[in-house]
């Protein structure tokens, strides 16, 4: 079954409604930078799509081209007036989502590492955050 942005947005809206009562959102002005480390482990070029999620919906989608077996680092400066609670990534027919809840009010920089394979996208949140320190 093919995966579309429309289906992804619908699923995100449904999951957002289910978690609307959760507490512990990241402060609106605390997340200033998001560093993405993208690794394409496939034999084909990929378009990687990324969006942050807030209590009031998804932020802007960011699209990045990755060559076959390619590696790329990118920085996103999110809208400061929103309270970011999660993130979503899509490459081909694969998608992954995660939460920012419980990251602490002092969180100003986030580093997410993505490894794209034929079957899925592996997402990890860096606890080292070496890119945030540069």
Least confident of 26-30, 33-37, 128-132: 26-30
In a domain? residue 11: no
Structural domain includes residue 14: no
Could you tell me the pTM of the whole model?
A: 0.74
| CATH classification of the domain holding 77 | 2.60.40
pLDDT at 16 over 60: no
Write the DSSP string, 35-90: EEEEEE-SSS-EEEEEEEEETTEE---EEEEE-TT-EEEEEE---TTS-EEEEEEE
pLDDT digits (tens, 9 = 90+) for 29-50: 468 899 999 999 999 999 999 9
Give the per-residue pLDDT at 17.
Answer: 39
Residue 29 placed within a domain: no
57 inside domain: yes
84-91 and 94-99 beta bridge pairing = antiparallel
Total domains, the chain: 1
Please indicate, yes or no, if residue 28 is contained in any of the structural domains.
Answer: no
Q: Which domain holds residue 81?
A: 34-124
Q: Are 116 and 45 in contact (CB under 8 A)?
A: no
pLDDT of residue 130: 80
Is residue 12 in some structural domain? no
Is 8 within a domain? no
pLDDT in tens, 93-112: 999 999 986 655 457 888 99
pLDDT at 114 over 50: yes
């Amino acid at each position: 079954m093919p995966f579309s942005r429309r289906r992804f947005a619908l699923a995100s809206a449904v999951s957002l409604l289910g978690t609307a009562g959760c507490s512990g959102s990241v402060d609106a002005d605390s997340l200033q930078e998001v560093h993405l480390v993208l690794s394409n482990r496939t034999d084909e070029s990929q378009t990687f799509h990324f969006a942050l999620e807030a209590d009031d919906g998804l932020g802007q989608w960011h699209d990045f081209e990755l060559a076959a077996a390619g590696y790329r680092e990118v920085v996103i400066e999110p809208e400061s007036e929103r309270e970011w609670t999660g993130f979503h990534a899509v490459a081909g027919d694969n998608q992954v989502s995660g939460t920012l809840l419980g990251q602490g009010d002092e969180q100003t920089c986030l580093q997410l590492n993505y490894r794209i394979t034929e079957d899925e996208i592996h997402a990890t949140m860096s606890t080292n955050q070496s890119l945030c320190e540069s």
